[in-house]
Each structure stands twice: as C-alpha cells, then as structure tokens.
C-alpha cells in the first residue's frame, strides 16, 4: 500500500546550521505518529517539509505517492499549526463558514447541496462544537479553534491530519478529551502526525514515535521506542530534559 507520507534523505537549513539532517521516514495509512524531540530540534520544520510548506535543500518528499511539489489534493490534508493560528481568523467569518470552506475544497463547487450541509453539521458534531457554529472563529479559545480546524478537515474528507503541539496551554482534562477525539478519528482510518512536547502524554496515545534532534534518533512503534535508548540519545545523555512542561 502507498505510504501517506514518505521522506527520503531530507535535509533543510535556514542558514548555516542544519535544522533537519538526512531524515528518512515513512508514515503508513492509518498510523498515529507522535513526533517528539527537544525544543528547537526541527519538529515544526520537519512537519512543514512533509506538508510541502518548505522545500528541502536535498532529498525527496512524497504525499500519497506523489512528489509533494506537484501534489494537488490539498483537500486530503488537514493541518493545524502551532497555536492554531490561521488566515481565517483575520476574517469576519463564523465557525460554520470555516468548516464549510473545507466542504468547498472537497466538493469544488460554489453552491452547497443538502448533502454538503449535512457533512458540515456532521463535522461540527464530531468535534463537539455545534454550539459554537455561529460564533466568529476569532473569538474562540485556542482549544476550540483547534476543533474548528479539525472539523474543516473532516468536512473536506481529509485522510491526513497534521497537528503541531495541539495541547499546549490546555488543561489536563481538555487534553484528554482532545486525545480521545484524535483516537476516534484515527479509528475511522485517518492518519495522524502530531508534534507533542510532553513525552509522557504522547507515548500512551500514539502507535508510532519519531524522535528527532536534527537527525532522526528513532522511528518505529511506540513499544520499541520505550525500550530503546533513543530518548536519552536525542535529549542528551544527562537525561535531564526527559519531560518539559510549558
């Protein structure tokens, strides 16, 4: 089966210092991958590379078997950036309108049929924000916005979700609820790639781990990661910074 994401020998630097060096990594359909590593270890850069938001200095990136540079099925990907900031927030649009944009991306026509309206309602219901549908997107909390963007991805029938530290600044209870939502989406077959700074949280919830510190120190199922030395290696042998909280 074609991998959802495939990176081969991918390197990128912003200036002199490499941010991502020689990373080879595949994400199969239906995987739930946690991308971890210390602060400044290249996690966001790697996510941007795999989404085609940055072009690698060298190496190859494919999405759903297509070179990312010519990938033309953007509706298949839902991306929630760090802090859930989005262009939509600068516009006076409601949550329902934001989610409907996902439906346009999928259906590609300007008049929404009944079926599209149902898809928008279903997406709002799945992420449990029906009560916020008529609110302006810019007026929502960070956590609520995350859900709105996930609903937009669901409305466009995305089968890859990429999330950059979605639960920063979220209390433990809301974080658990959020991870429950992700687990239910993953159960439906949606592939998830997620950056999470709290290793204790992530190892309990994902099925694969990629541990990065410019280079990839480990990539494999969660069990093999927990049993490996990758954590100490990637975070420095002192083992001081095995978990850090913002």
**Cα–Cα distance, 93 to 126 (Å, whole number):** 21
**Cα–Cα distance, 21 to 214 (Å, whole number):** 6
Of 37, 78, 102, 166, the one binding ligand ADP by CB under 6 A? 37
Three-state DSSP class for residue 85: coil
Of 44, 126, 144, 167, the one binding ligand ADP by CB under 6 A? 44
Closest CB to ligand ADP among 46 and 133?
A: 46
| Element (DSSP H or E) covering residue 9 | strand 5-13
Which of the ranges 43-51, 150-158, 176-184, 232-240 carries the binding residues for ligand ADP, by CB under 6 A? 43-51
The distance of closest approach from Cβ of residue 72 to ligand ADP in the complex, given in angstroms and rounded to an integer, is 26
Closest CB to ligand ADP among 20 and 119?
A: 20
The distance of closest approach from Cβ of residue 47 to ligand ADP in the complex, given in angstroms and rounded to an integer, is 8
Query: Do the Cβ atoms of 102 and 155 come closer than 8 Å?
Result: yes
Of 4, 31, 32, 43, the one binding ligand ADP by CB under 6 A? 43
Of 39, 110, 131, 238, the one binding ligand ADP by CB under 6 A? 39
Q: In what order do the strands lie in the sheet with 58-63?
A: 18-27, 5-13, 58-63, 66-67
**Cα–Cα distance, 124 to 151 (Å, whole number):** 6
Residues in the site for ligand ADP, rule: CB under 6 A?
14, 19, 37, 39-45
């Amino acid at each position: 089966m074609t991998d959802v994401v495939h990176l081969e020998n991918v390197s990128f630097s912003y200036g002199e210092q490499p941010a991502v060096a020689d990373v080879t990594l595949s994400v199969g359909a239906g995987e739930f991958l946690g991308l971890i590593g210390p602060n400044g270890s290249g996690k966001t850069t790697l996510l941007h590379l795999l989404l085609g938001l940055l072009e690698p200095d060298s190496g190859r990136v494919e999405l759903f078997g297509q070179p990312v540079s010519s990938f033309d099925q953007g509706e298949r990907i839902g991306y929630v950036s760090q802090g859930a900031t989005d262009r939509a927030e600068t516009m006076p649009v409601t949550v329902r309108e934001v989610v409907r944009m996902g439906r346009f991306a999928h259906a590609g026509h300007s008049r929404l049929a009944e079926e599209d309206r149902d898809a928008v309602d279903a997406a709002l219901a799945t992420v449990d924000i029906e009560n916020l549908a008529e609110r302006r997107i810019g007026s929502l909390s960070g956590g609520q916005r995350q859900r709105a963007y996930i609903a937009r991805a669901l409305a466009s029938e995305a089968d890859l979700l990429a999330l950059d530290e979605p639960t920063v600044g979220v209390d433990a209870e809301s974080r658990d609820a959020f991870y429950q939502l992700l687990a239910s989406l993953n159960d439906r077959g949606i592939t998830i790639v997620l950056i999470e700074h709290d290793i204790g949280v992530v190892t309990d919830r994902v099925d694969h781990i990629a541990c990065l510190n410019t280079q990839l120190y480990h990539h494999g199922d969660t069990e093999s990661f927990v049993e490996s030395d990758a954590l100490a290696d990637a975070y420095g042998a002192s083992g001081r910074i095995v978990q850090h909280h913002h």
